[in-house]
Amino acid sequence: MVTVGIPKGLLFPKYHVFTSAFFDELGAQTVSSPDTNKTILDLGTKYCVDDACLSIKVFHGHVAWLKDCCDFLFVPRIMGFKEREFICPMFCGLPEMLRHNITGLPHLIDTPLASLQNDKLYTWAKNVGYRITHDKTVIKRAFNRAMQEQSQFCPGINDTNYGQKIALLGHTYHIHDAFINMDLIQKMNDAGFGIITEEHVPASDKEAAVKRLFKKPFWSFFADYYGAAIHLYQTSAVDGFIYLSSFACGIDSILIELIKSETGEFPFLIIKLDEHTGEAGINTRLEAFLDLMKRRTHDDRYDSQPGEHQYCGKSVV
Amino acid sequence: MLKEYYLGIDVGSVSTNLVAIDQNGTLVEKLYLRTSGRPVDTVKKGTLMLTENLGDQASIKAAGTTGSGRKLAAVLLGADVVKNEITAHAVAARRLYPNVRTILEIGGQDSKIILMRNGIVYDFAMNTVCAAGTGSFLDRQAARLEIPIEEFGGYALRAKTPVRIAGRCAVFAESDMIHKQQTGHCTEDIVAGLCEALVRNYLNNLAKGKEILQPILFQGGVAANIGIVKAFEKELGISILIPEYYDVMGAYGAALLAKEELEINQRETGFLGLGNLKHEFTVQSIDCAGCSNLCEVIKICSNNMPIAYWGDRCGKWGDLTANELVQSYK
Amino acid sequence: MIVTIPNLGNISIAAKALFDGLKIPYIMPEVNHNDTLKIGSFYSPEEICLPFKIMMGNYIRSIEKGADTILFAGSCGPCRFGEYCELQMKLLTKFKPDLRFIVIDSPLDIGKKAFLKRLNEINLSSSASRKEKLSAMLAAYHTIRILDQIDAKAHELAGYEREKGACKNLLYSCKREASACDNPVQMLKVLNDYKKKLRQIPLDYSKNPLKVAIIGEIYTIIEPFSNLYIEEKLMDYSVSSKRTLTPSWWLKDTFLKPLKINSLAINHAAKKYLPYKIGGHGRECVGESLLAQQSQMDGAIQIMPLACMPEVVAKSILPSIQREKDFPIMTLVIDEMVGEAGYLTRIEAFLDMLEYKRKTGVKWAVCSSFPS
């Protein structure tokens, strides 16, 4: 039985249901790396070029961790989710980055995926499946099961039983990696704040909000995050925004500015992530932000504007 | 009987190093001075001090300069070779250890790694932006901890469990260090932690994807710090060598290059002599309004007479001949 | 309507010819220098890439001088460049509320109708006749083509010139004179004259200069200020340099792209190392380094702005090419913090390295014990 390694980085939290069901049905054994930890982060910073963003480095770490314990490594080359839409250049070149940065990798399953349209996705799945089995009916069955299971799964968060609600913006792989964001979600919940993420804003609302832009965004995530943020702001569905961003993320560098320019003085905390240890710094800023938010509702006045608290986590390894 | 020497000067932003080598390429005299933001004075003073140490019978046969102030020093002295510090360091290292394969260099304001294969530079990297991997950073932290920098290494060696300090960026390393101080870690452990952070930072920044092979030389002022040396050995898992003249390797390389230049090209030296150094030198920057480029041109005068210009893109100033220089004064 | 554009090296000169020919009032962007970057950075988000900041500086300066419309070519991903206009619009309208943006995007992304509408906006402000318009466009095309040719030739011949600085000086006066022309016909004449003059520069073909390819992100390699004038510096060092990515290359590439017959040689060369288009000019960067190696050049210098996404991918791949093909490649990452001293040191050390490599004839692939 072949073993397929599934790195627990980047889009894993979004699509792990699909991948594990798919490979399982194909008859392959899957092994995934552990949740991001110190070792994985250190491996990532060791192998990856310094200029890449944190998440790409973390992914390198997961791959380096897995490389000796599987026959295939599943590193889909995700070009985009729709025609003429993209994720980010580093996603497109990820398999090459890995191959040239880390030596001794097993075979990569890096079939390019350019669209999530059903027929395109199936063609892609056939290509991937062919690496494991040549039996077309098995691939078809695996695909159907994976699609079915994935459709019942929503990686987003939408807390209900809290007094105040904050939209947690940013890439899925920042939001769902508790090591990288230092348990941000837990901390917010403990402080009595609920969270909503972009997955829980209906697509039609997002699309409507995106229409404000001069140009139709060509980054799939960009449209989702921007649309969700603007919609939540306009409908006053949340009390503030927290944006989890990483240094050197090209999409964030533009998106944050665009959201800020629409929302004006609305409470907006930007947390910058890097290979850090400075948890104390994040805690201080998060607490300060949340305290101000509490006071705001309490006084029901806008006398103190939390404004923008940038946390700069640029520190170590 | 006159003895002939070759002069090498490395003008960095923190220190200025001078060496004199003899006909065999052996280092005879060396000097390590603080530049203190006054490179002209330092070069003048250093050269005079060095030649004084060489004795009455000495004559300078040629001079070479390197470091970020190499151009300035070259004008003051009439140097025969003006070389970048990477090549200079590599030349010096190869002279002492012909089979060297890796050179680690950490100076006051920058750090480098140079890979050598079969005696030639094969690959290199240099960090000039981030202060976290340089000597100044250590100086600063030593001052904060109230330890003389010379004893820094000793403290590191006495550490039992080095603390983990964020080393990616000088500002955060510092705040992290203060945090560790406040939580009550002992000075020894913090010092050792700083050394490890610097080394980790250096390797992550410069050595990524590079194959570090033995023999490894460690040069630059920071090589005096035994704490850093040990941290490198711990991180790399192999032992590293410290050349005898680790703190003046750049200057040594410049001197060797000057000697080589004269020998290969069989030409006369351009060295202006010590008398020239008694002149009054001034450095001035002028905004050239000759075209839309608006270059900032540096003008060097000796006794009020312009002797060199640079900084212009078009060559209007930089390419002036001796005669035109005199003209530009009038 | 008074149009302005960002400063993009030679493109600005050709754009001047175009606007003159179309009789559209315009304000030329100033020559980039430190103040441009300073003012641009002040109004830009900190983490955005360098070209954005310099362009912002250009726009603000031109707006101060009276420009009210910005003409800009867009792209639709996947690199950040495509979103420049969106953010710049937001930032600049705070500065000047009635500022207009005309963004020329590919008709495949914005639709043919929108595309024609945008073109028409420029068209309407032109008082030239149809025939004049056509000839202006043609002249602008020839301007950029000839300028790029002169550039390339001068950079190449700098290694062979008998009198040091001859090529550089000629290039300087050429651009100065061309920029001073106020109609496209005159400009073309100046350029053609200089093309001839370039052939008359005394050369010494017995010289065997170092040959270096300039590769990397297109803005930072065609706009000399952003790369700290690397090509001029190489000319000063008597190195023959070659750069494939030019404005005229870009034009050709853009028009041939829909037919999928653009940059065949580059893409073919890159195939083994980077088989897919990743946005920006990441694949071109990889392909060109391989082409440079095949054409017996001594080395290549990759130039990229800090955190440029496509170039980061290319940067990961280049060390493998260096190792496997025995071909030295150096990466220079540029942002506003770059100090000239360290930059020069790297360039000089790289050239020394190429020189030694040539002299000793050592094969690096052999020295390295990397398992490949």
Q: Are residues B238 and B112 in the same domain?
A: yes
Cβ atoms A36, A58 nearer than 8 A: yes
- Asked, for residue B93, whether it belongs to a domain, the answer is no
Residue B14 within a domain: yes
pLDDT, residue B330, reads 53
Q: Which subunits count as partners of chain B given 3+ CB pairs below 8 Å?
A: A, C
Q: Is A246 on the interface with B (CB under 8 A)?
A: no
- B17 — phi, psi (to 5°)? -115, 140
Q: Which of C49, C89, C312 sits opposite A214 (nearest CB)?
A: C89
pLDDT at A298: 57
Q: Which of B119-128, C110-119, C143-152, C238-247 has the lowest mean pLDDT?
A: B119-128
- Please indicate, yes or no, if residue B222 is contained in any of the structural domains: yes
Residues B295 and B312 in one domain: yes
Q: DSSP state, C203? A: B
Let me know whether B81 and B29 are in one domain: yes
- B169 CB within 8 Å of a chain A CB: yes
A244 φψ region: left (φ > 0), alpha (ψ -120 to 50), beta (else): beta
Taking the Cβ of residue B210 and every Cβ of chain A, the question of whether any pair is shorter than 8 Å is answered with no
Higher-confidence residue of B311 and A122: namely A122
Q: What pLDDT digit, counting tens, does each position of A41-52 carry? A: 888 988 888 888
The arithmetic mean of pLDDT across residues A26-35, rounded, is 93
Instruction: Work out the pLDDT band at C311, boundaries 50, 70, 90.
Output: very high
User: Taking residues B272-277, what's their average pLDDT?
Assistant: 80
- pLDDT greater at residue C210 or residue B159: C210
Q: pLDDT class for B276, splitting at 50, 70, 90?
A: confident
**Distance of CA B266 to CAs B12, B109, B258, B260, Å?**
30, 36, 12, 10
Does residue B185 carry a pLDDT above 50? yes
Query: Which residues of chain C neighbour A100 with C-beta distances below 8 Å?
Result: 273, 316-317, 319-320
| Tens digits of residue pLDDT in C332-358 | 988 876 677 788 888 999 999 999 888
Q: For the stretch C173-199, what's the b/e string if a residue is b when 16 or more beta carbons lie within 10 angstroms of its beta carbon? A: ebbeebbebeebebbbebbeebeeebe
Q: Determine the pLDDT at residue C338.
A: 67
CATH number at residue B74: 3.30.420.40
Tell me whether the CATH fold assigned to A3-151 matches the one assigned to A164-312.
yes
Report d(CA C188, CA C14) in Å as an integer.
Answer: 10
Structure-model confidence comparison of residues A74 and C33, the more confident one: A74
d(CA C13, CA C246): 14
Q: Are residues B285 and B306 in the same domain?
A: yes
pLDDT recorded at residue B255: 93
Residues B172 and B114 in one domain: yes
Provide the residue range defining the domain that includes B310: 281-329
Considering chain A, what percentage of its residues have pLDDT values greater than 70? 92
Q: Which residue do the tokens 């052999």 mark?
A: C366
Q: Which residues in chain A are closer than 8 Å to B164, comparing Cβ atoms?
A: 277
Q: What's the pLDDT score for residue B293?
A: 75
Asked whether the beta carbons of A76 and A111 are under 8 A apart, the reply is yes
Q: What is the CATH number of domain A3-151?
A: 3.40.50
Q: Which CATH class is domain A164-312?
A: alpha beta
pLDDT at position C366 is: 40
Residue at B70 is within a domain? yes
Q: Which secondary structure element, helix H or strand E, spans residue C211, and what is its range?
A: strand C211-216
Residue B262 predicted with pLDDT over 50? yes
Is the pLDDT score of C61 beyond 80? yes
pLDDT value for A242: 94
Task: Report residue A208's pLDDT band, with 50, 70 and 90 as the boundaries.
Answer: very high
**Does B131 share its domain with B215?**
yes
Q: Return the minimum-mean-pLDDT range out of B42-51, C1-10, C28-37, C355-364.
A: C355-364
Query: Is pLDDT at A309 greater than 50 in this prediction?
Result: no
pLDDT at A299: 55
Model confidence at C183: pLDDT above 70: yes
As for the ipTM of the complex, it is: 0.88
Same domain membership, residue B126 and residue B203: yes
Q: Which residue has the higher pLDDT, C158 or B166?
A: C158
Nearest chain B residue to C357 by CA: give it: B120
Is B254 a residue whose pLDDT tops 70?
yes
Residue range B238-248: mean pLDDT, rounded: 91
At C359 the pLDDT is 85
Which residues of B fall below an 8 Å CB-CB distance to C? 68, 83-87, 110, 117-124, 126, 128-129, 209, 211, 213, 291-294, 313-315, 319
pLDDT band for position A227 (cuts 50, 70, 90): very high
- Model confidence band, residue A306 (pLDDT cutoffs 50, 70, 90): very low
Q: How far apart (Å, rounded) are the C-alpha atoms in residues A173 and A182?
A: 13
Residue ranges of A 129-188 with Cβ closer than 8 A to chain B: none
Cβ atoms of B73 and B229 within 8 Å: the answer is no
**Do B203 and B265 belong to one domain?**
no
Q: Sign of dihedral through CA atoms A46, A48, A52, A55?
A: negative
Same domain, B210 and B273: no
- Closest chain C residue to B109 measured between Cα atoms? C342
How many structural domains comprise chain B? 3
User: Is pLDDT above 60 for A304?
Assistant: no
Query: Are residue B21 and residue B63 in the same domain, yes or no?
Result: yes
Q: Are residues B113 and B144 in the same domain?
A: yes
**Stretch B62-81: mean pLDDT, rounded?**
89
In chain A, domain spans: 3-151, 164-312
Cβ neighbour number for residue C34 with a 10 Å cutoff: 12
For tokens 């073993």, the residue is: A3
Domains of chain C in sequence order: 3-134 (3.40.50)
- Angle formed at CA C156 by CA C155 and CA C158, multiple of 5 degrees: 70
Q: Is residue B298 part of a domain?
A: yes
- Residues C281-290, mean pLDDT to the nearest whole number: 93
- Output the pTM of the full model: 0.88
